[in-house]
Chain A
């Protein structure tokens, strides 16, 4: 029927999609959902907050600042930049058993590893073991790219500024010093160690570094970072990896060693301890501070009271707001007229 076809040829689609009649859920901020919801969230947050707070309280942390700013500090003599190869000793006391496994961190403050120019100053190709970039480092490494005409490996300011203080921990038991064994294995991320950073596949490793020079601030080249253990030498040195993982904030701590062996596996017993520091790293020029942190961990990581307190505060505020909203709802229920 021609007429019928003509009638319908211009008619638009009448599906639910084109006519905007799709079935939909239309939520509304009604009192029946909001007020119980707030109460539930509040109670849940209070519960989490309590758990976090209690856990955080149970974590033990000991900090020892060894920058040597005050004259009375044992490391004051080392803080002079002209003094090289200085060794100083800090004494501290532990009151009760420091539960193991104990983690040994070094901390820096006022140190902006998150500075953008600093952060881009490295060559990822070199660090993956690409020999071509040994000869021609990336431009982003400037000014730590060449010494004269010789390329620096590893180039860049991140590598150049590697932390080079070293520590030895002794427990003082009736006048005698017992060394606490520090374990430096597995302190960096598994992916960093196995995937991101690779040594050039040249044996001996030293040969790969022919024609290159070590970074300016380093005392020994990369292939001598740990001559005793080839799995910890070169770019896959654990301390190097930990340092290369740059921190987000100006005050940070980085894992140095773990205390997990021998008598101290269960923790550090109460007593006097002596920390022997090979003080090499200068921080006073930019008003930075150095410290050693001993800490144990739990399921929530290190000691962080903020999270627990924040959850408690937000949880209680939720409960309070739900009461306020209930009062408002009860009093000001809006009337149903048009």
Chain B
């Protein structure tokens, strides 16, 4: 390259400027030009056409031609491009790792870029014990590097991947989490990942990767992103979430349990194939720690309560069977049975499922550990279901036997009958409704106006409907459908009936209250502690304290994506990862047992050959992308 103006050389001025740009973490570009003679150009074009259609050594010949024409350019100047991370990314990643969420970065960028990003968004930290790099060129080298990493993290680890491999348990094997001392990071590039994802080594890779706090896979192709996600899904009992913004993330988003697309500059491809989409990465924090958590909480409370109220409702009939000759006589009025789930208990449960919260969103951000119960499936497991069934059993015993004993041989205060079937049914159903409503009140921890209206309204509706159906008017319309006429008026004006209702509802509920209170005092969960704190402050939380973060201020590392090393077009164009049977080629020494198109990790993208090494043929049918046309100038001065 020559300077434009021979008298005032640009290069001595351009070089420090470029260095300054790079120091600030900008992506640098030098601009140069050259005038071509038209005849020469036609001739060159013809030779280029010949070379590009040549059957042998196409890349080599094209490379030669490019070398020939890209000489003696005149330097114009230098530019720089900025490629920033979005706002709030480091904070989000920090919060999510506090919530026991493992974060892996799968990027197509180069290793240095990926490492830079890792440091700038707080994934890799200076305090980490060690960052392992896996960049072997052969399966054995990769396996060696993974083993070394594992031994460094856990010196006494068992060699075989599944310690209890002798067991004859059928079904998919699950890789359990292993405890390691200290925090480690793993950086693996796409070439090595291609070996590591092979069937023989994938468990090795997964095991090592899961021992690290942060994993960065750089140079991965879109298919490899999906493969990594599927590997985790298959062998770990974990829920995976993939978030990305470009079309190259679509396969990963579709492979994960939950796919999140970021809509923005790179178009809507990721958004169209995702389950959730938003515009900024930092919204992920809100999605998981606030809405995901609330959703889990609501769903579990809803399910537990629904089972409870229906089991209680039904078990009472079981106890009554002993006293009615097992004739399947219902304890309640038939209208009550119809309307119980439809009208009397539908809206309160719905209200709880829609509006319930344990702590508000600000507090959820402050305490990411609140997310852990959802990960451990604490709120609705087999154990929780069994406890619910037991609770229902107890409630049903109380709901039947207290009215049974209270009604035994009793009469109204004017001597008339109150121990008849219809009064007993009314008594039991009223007790049941009071008991389940109070139980709902205990379950709900967030009483909005809507919820209050639903609960009190349901009770009011119950009494209104009951009295309407037991009234004279309805009976005269359809005598056979409303046989309970007069029951409400004749039994609900008796003090002993109301005292029975009071006793039954209280006895159903007080043990639960006692149990919960003692549990909060003796083994408080993270939720209890946070709610206690909320109650204490009784106001919006204090702003999160700005911890003095130990951030590197080294200028070598930057938060921006740029790199000077070579591209990864090889990997894409070779089609090695596509596992298609390709035309047999003389295989390089590094791959045994794989019909490849001769992909070699040391190869170059098409059309590039600074050192003149043998080129790879392009895989059939893969189009040349602009990336492959990009050539880096290796100049020691830059």
Chain A contact residues, CB within 8 Å of chain B: 20-31, 34, 38, 41, 45, 48, 52, 101, 103, 105, 107, 112-119, 124-125, 128, 138, 187-192, 195-196, 242, 245-255, 258, 295, 297-304, 306-307, 310-311, 314, 318, 321, 325, 328-329, 332-334, 336, 338
Is B450's beta carbon under 8 Å from chain A?
yes
Residues of B with C-beta under 8 A to A297? 411-415
With A113-B421, A247-B419, A258-B415 as contacts: A22 and B409 at CB distance below 8 Å:
no
* CB pair A20 B355 closer than 8 Å: yes
State how many angstroms separate the Cβ of A65 from the closest Cβ of chain B. 14
Bound: A242/B534 CA distance, A: 60
Residue on B with the closest CB to A140? B480
Write the nearest CB–CB distance from B496 to chain A, whole angstroms: 5
Q: State A307–B422 Cα separation when bound (angstroms).
A: 20
Q: In the bound complex, do residue A310 and residue B405 qualify as a contact, i.e. CB atoms below 8 Å apart?
A: yes
Given the contacts A24-B446, A195-B475, A249-B323, A255 and B411 also touching, CB distance less than 8 Å: yes
A325–B514 Cα distance when bound, in Å, is 8
Q: How far is the CB of A335 from chain B (nearest CB, A)?
A: 9
- Interface residue SS majority, chain B: helix
A249 pairs with B417, CB closer than 8 A: no
Q: Find out whether the CB atom of A195 lies under 8 angstroms from the CB atom of B472.
A: yes
- The answer on a CB contact under 8 Å between A246 and B420 is yes
The reply to whether B357 and A20 form a contact with Cβ atoms under 8 Å apart is: yes
| A328–B408 CB distance below 8 A | no
> Which 10 pairs show the lowest CB-CB distances between chains A and B?
A191-B486, A248-B424, A116-B329, A116-B327, A103-B415, A22-B448, A25-B447, A302-B411, A306-B405, A114-B324
Cα(A329)–Cα(B521), bound, Å: 6
- CB proximity of A295 to chain B, nearest CB, Å: 8
If over half of A's interface residues share one DSSP class (helix, strand or loop), that class is named, otherwise mixed; here it is mixed
- Contact status B510-A41, CB under 8 Å: yes
A-B contact count (CB 8 A): 221
26 A-B pairs (CB sep. < 8 Å): A26-B445, A26-B531, A29-B516, A29-B517, A112-B324, A112-B325, A114-B324, A124-B480, A188-B416, A195-B472, A195-B476, A196-B475, A245-B422, A248-B425, A249-B419, A255-B411, A297-B412, A297-B415, A299-B413, A300-B495, A301-B412, A304-B409, A318-B510, A325-B521, A334-B528, A338-B529
B410: chain A residues within 8 A (beta carbon): 301-304
- Segment with Cβ contacts to A, from B154-162, B500-508, B630-638: B500-508
Q: Which residues on the A side are within 8 Å of B514 (C-beta)?
A: 38, 321, 325
Most B Cβ at <10 Å: residue of A52, A105, A195, A258: A195
Q: Are B413 and A301 in contact (CB under 8 A)?
A: yes
Among residues of A, the one whose C-beta sits closest to the C-beta of B497 is A301
Cα(A101)–Cα(B411), bound, Å = 14
Write out the residue numbers on chain A whose beta carbons fall within 8 Å of the beta carbon of B304.
none
Inter-chain contact A301/B532, CB cutoff 8 Å:
no
CA distance A268 to B418 in the complex (A): 25
How far, in Å, is B351 (CB) from chain A's closest CB? 11
Neighbouring A residues of B416 by C-beta, 8 Å = 187-189, 255
Given A28-B532, A48-B499, A249-B404, decide whether A189 and B328 contact each other with a Cβ distance below 8 A: no
B549 at the interface (CB under 8 A from A): no
